Amino acid sequence: MRPLISLLAVLLAMPAFSQAAAPSASATATVRANIQVPLSITKMSDLNFGTTIATPLAGKVTVDPFGVRTATGGVVLANTSVFGVSAAAFQVNGEANTTFTVLLPASAQMTYGVFSMLVDGFVTDGAPYKLSVNGGQRLGVGATMTVGANQAPGLYSGSFTVTVAYN
């Protein structure tokens, strides 16, 4: 019986010896992560179309991203304005020298009581959108306002959202 137990002990130990004798290799990898500065956008100024005069003909007023106002159709541009004329301006801040995308709305509504006007054709002062070495960039936004024939007089207002994201 003792020789049988000894033989069993030797047989059970053999895999352990053969595993210990097998060649092995290892390698080390570096673990990395880059935490970026959060991207932010802050409104600096509003989009102001200024004062216009509606006529029996519909028309459009455009303010480009640099604040230049033009009119087409039956809209007359007045020289005076409650708020002046200006493109919207935003300050974008984040990780220096990185690029980002800008998402503009398809349209927005301005209302005065039950009356409304469509604002669409939103544009920026240009891509590529890249933050400076200091991590900032100014972003100008313009759009086009549609003025209906005999549009009701009043102080119309609304809002729109500009979204930015890292590429």
As a whole-number percent, the residues of the chain with pLDDT over 70 amount to 87
> Is residue 2 a part of any domain in this protein?
no
Lowest mean pLDDT among 5-14, 19-28, 71-80, 104-113: 5-14
> Is residue 26 a part of any domain in this protein?
no
> Is residue 3 a part of any domain in this protein?
no
Instruction: Please state, in angstroms and rounded to a whole number, the distance separating the CA atoms of residues 59 and 69.
Output: 13
The count of domains in the chain is: 1
> Is residue 79 a part of any domain in this protein?
yes
pLDDT of amino acid 81: 75
> Is residue 19 a part of any domain in this protein?
no
From the list 143, 156, 155, the residue with the least C-alpha distance to 63 is 143
> Is residue 29 a part of any domain in this protein?
no
Cα 123 to chain centroid distance, Å, stands at 13
Instruction: Please state, in angstroms and rounded to a whole number, the distance separating the CA atoms of residues 50 and 40.
Output: 28
Backbone CA torsion sign across 146, 150, 151, 153: positive
Lowest mean pLDDT among 59-68, 73-82, 146-155: 73-82
> Is residue 6 a part of any domain in this protein?
no
Instruction: Please state, in angstroms and rounded to a whole number, the distance separating the CA atoms of residues 135 and 118.
Output: 35
pLDDT of amino acid 9: 55
- Containing domain of residue 56, as a range? 43-154+161-166
Tokens representing residue 129 in the block: 């959108």
> Is residue 13 a part of any domain in this protein?
no
